[in-house]
Amino acid sequence: MENAAVFAILSRSEREVQGFALAWAAAGDAELLTVAVVPEARRRGVGAALVTSAGVAALVRGAASMHLEVAEDNAAGRALYAKLGYEEAGRRAAYYAGEGGSVDAIVMRRTLPRPLV
């Protein structure tokens, strides 16, 4: 990658890709840009593992916190992020275009755990 601050996490089973996460880290903060999991691998912990791994990778790169945006109507995504310790930190009105109109983005943030050693 050209920008060392941007990184990707890949999940695969044998030879098949199950999902990926893209994020960046700079100046003590990180943003989870996207997480995608193939339909066959959903609800099996792949998304949680990707988000957790992205947090660890951000921590290694010096980030103290990580934030993300999730569509207000993405109940599964919001539940996953909340389960992983992300809390609502703001809202971007009409951020996503949807079939029935626009949807707000919920900004979620969490402090990344510091190592004990």
Check if the beta carbon of residue 104 is closer than 8 Å to that of residue 95: yes
- The set of catalytic residues is 69, 81
Give the C-alpha separation, 53 to 19, whole Å. Answer: 12
Q: Are 19 and 47 in contact (CB under 8 A)?
A: yes
Among 39, 69, 66, residue whose Cα is nearest residue 54: 66
* Inter-residue contact 109 to 64 (CB < 8 Å): no
Strand intervals (E) in the chain:
6-13, 16-26, 29-37, 65-71, 87-98, 101-111
